[in-house]
């Protein structure tokens, strides 16, 4: 029996259709970058709240330390992700929350690790840093001049 050309055609198209995976030096699959990171000039409410978070001296010190460590280890830096919002539809996310919840990611070619979490309560006008060791939100200072910008962008 001769092999059928149909079988060869199926195998050929299967190989073309399969996306080849890339691996790092340790044999781990390199992940595709499908995470949408926020930018400080992001329009709307989420951008205004992100700028408030970035105004905190504690956040600035942490980001400086993260960037230094990540770049020493061949990473590219950090990124903010909005994980929760009082207005998830308009902010383009799925999680409804009483606070704006942000996670900070270290960005490497083969992984993205969450290294810090912050949240802003728009009712109490408080900024928190989440402490994973004791599972507590600690209030941190920020530049209150951003409150007016939040009021304008979010109402």
The reply to whether 48 falls in a domain is yes
Q: What is the pLDDT of residue 20?
A: 54
Q: Is residue 91 part of a domain?
A: yes
pLDDT in tens, 4-43: 666 665 655 554 444 555 544 444 444 455 677 888 788 8
What is this structure's pTM? 0.74
Return the pLDDT at 4.
65
Which tokens belong to 54? Answer: 């970035």
- In the prediction, which pLDDT does 12 show? 53
Report yes or no on 15 lying in a domain: no
Please state the domain count of the chain.
1
In-domain check, residue 1:
no
The percent of residues in the chain predicted with pLDDT above 70, rounded, is: 78
Residue 49 lies in a domain: yes
State residue 26's pLDDT score.
41
Owning domain of residue 41: 24-154
Residue ranges in the chain whose pLDDT is less than 70: 1-34
Neighbouring residues of 86: CB distance < 8 A, sequence distance ≥ 6:
96, 97, 98, 99, 100, 122
Residue 146 lies in a domain: yes
- Tell me whether residue 14 is in a domain: no
What local confidence, expressed as pLDDT, does residue 55 receive? Answer: 96
């Amino acid at each position: 029996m001769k092999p059928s050309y149909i079988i060869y055609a199926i195998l050929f198209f299967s190989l073309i259709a399969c996306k080849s995976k890339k691996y790092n030096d340790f044999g781990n699959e390199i992940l595709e970058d499908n995470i949408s990171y926020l930018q400080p000039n992001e329009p709307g409410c989420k951008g205004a709240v992100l700028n408030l978070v970035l105004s905190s001296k504690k956040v600035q010190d942490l980001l400086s330390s993260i960037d230094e460590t990540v770049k020493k280890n061949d990473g590219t830096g950090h990124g903010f992700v909005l994980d929760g919002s009082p207005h998830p539809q308009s902010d383009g996310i799925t999680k409804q929350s009483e606070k704006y919840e942000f996670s900070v990611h270290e960005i490497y070619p083969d992984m993205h690790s969450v290294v810090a979490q912050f949240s802003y309560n728009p009712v109490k006008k408080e900024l928190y840093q989440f402490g994973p060791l004791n599972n507590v939100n600690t209030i941190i200072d920020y530049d209150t001049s951003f409150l007016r910008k939040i009021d304008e962008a979010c109402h």
